[in-house]
Amino acid sequence: MQAIIKAGTPHGAVQAPPSKSVVHREIICSALAAGKSTISGAAMSKDIEATIRAVRALGAEISQEKEKDSGGLALGVRGIGSDIESCGSPEKNVSGDLPVLYCGESGSTLRFMIPVALLSGGGVFICAPRLIERGISVYEEAFLPLGINISIHKDTSEILVRGRLRPGAFEIPGDVSSQFVSGLLFALPLLEGDSRIFVRPPVESRPYIDITVDILKKAGIELDICDDTASGGGITFEIPGQQKYRARHWKAEGDWSNGAFLLGMNTLAKYGPAGAAQYDGSRVDRDESERAGGSPGSDRRRPPVQVSGLDPDSCQGDKVCVELLEAAGRWQAGDEPIGISGCPDLGPVLMAVGAACGGCVLMGTARLRIKESDRAQAMASELAKFGIRVDVFEDSVIVEPGCLAAPDEVLDGHNDHRIVMSLALLASITGGRIDGCQAVSKSWPGFWDVFRGLGMDVEIVNASGAAQATQ
């Protein structure tokens, strides 16, 4: 499908969507607990659907109900608990002995659930081709001494994992993906014996590990952390075995990763082609209070997009988007590069802001190439259509200063939700068409409805040109 966007100025009040990163983890912890857990304030997306399918394949029961007050989604999860050793759904693979877990394009689902499935003998993971390309080499190396068999079938987009996870010492590289660390942290507490994970430096995306640890502790799981990252070392986790997850009520929190696109609208209004505005574009409005920015009594006008539901005290690392968007918006030659090794998902929106506001330099970009697309190259290709040159290096990106122009060509979303949303920000300035706009459903199916709700003129059409509903 294609989004046809007319230039305009987004304005209005909007609630940030719930955090996909947090809800993934809450679903898994609930599925591993005995009894009934609830998750309020959730929202459905393709990635969350994938995790729900995966825990159902292992025997968890999940119900969904619309919340009357908030309009959000309430999930009821009846967990597996001590039945994990014999879990599994009726749907098996062709050999009849392993559950089938459909992951789609969700790297979180795949990498979180592989160790969990190995508690009961393994599983067959059905993935989108791009997810197969992104790989699970970290697990292949870590599980080799345990005799766990991992076979990847690119022709059928299947990963077959067979064997039993055993307690022991695991060494994981910290510069590939934090998802491998989180996956082990979910599973190891349920084993008979104690385990240790050493995360080799450099440890990137550390905040995502912190989210996992925070949610594990809330679910009753104990672990000790020896953190030597301040001196350039790694992280050691000591995980006692024979633990049990505790059923509980969870409340989903707002998503800083997707909230960055909303806040980016304010950055563009403040520093973009229209010139500096007379408000503080980095301000976040939460619960009708002044907690997240702007001192009480300030005479600055409020930013055009009022964003609620984002907690400055969250464990989410992408809350740094407030500072980084400001840095990208006001960046000038000679300024320090903007480091994103701990928050690579912010790369595309920062590149978009830099393109509109006079250029910027990003560092720590190496892992952008192993996301849903090669994000640095994808953004470079699309920004060229706006007349902006981008130089992509091994671990850095330079967005050159230039004059943002309306694209003559149709923009390509590269089947990547964050690329599509970043291009939408720029198209709000110039107008434009984005092919593959449905990719937003991976994390935020309601994005286009929110975009319209902020006063933007956007039409979604299919390949034949017929208008489509967006949700």
DSSP string across 234-257: -EEEEE-SS--EE--EEE--B-HH
Question: Taking Cα atoms as reference points, which of 295, 296, 301 lies closest to residue 277?
Answer: 301
Predicted confidence band at 69 (pLDDT cuts at 50, 70, 90)?
confident
pLDDT of residue 450: 97
Predicted confidence (pLDDT) per residue in 287-326, tens digit: 433 334 433 333 345 789 999 999 999 999 999 999 999 9
Distances (CA, A) of 140 to 10, 158, 414: 46, 15, 28
Handedness of CA 98, 103, 104, 105 (dihedral sign): negative
Output the six-digit token pair for 175.
């510069």
- Is 120 in a helix, a strand, or coil? helix
Q: What is the pLDDT of residue 290?
A: 38
Which 8-state DSSP code applies to residue 279? B
Q: β-pairing, 122-127 with 169-173?
A: unpaired
DSSP character string of 60-116: -EEEEEE-TTT--EEEEEE--GGGGGG---S-B-TTSSSBEEEEET-HHHHHHHHHH
pLDDT in tens, 172-218: 999 999 999 999 999 999 999 999 999 999 998 899 999 999 999 99
Integer Cα distance of 453 and 446 in angstroms: 10
> Which token pair is 453?
């709700």
Residue 54, pLDDT > 60, answer yes
Catalytic residues: 345
- pTM, two decimal places: 0.88
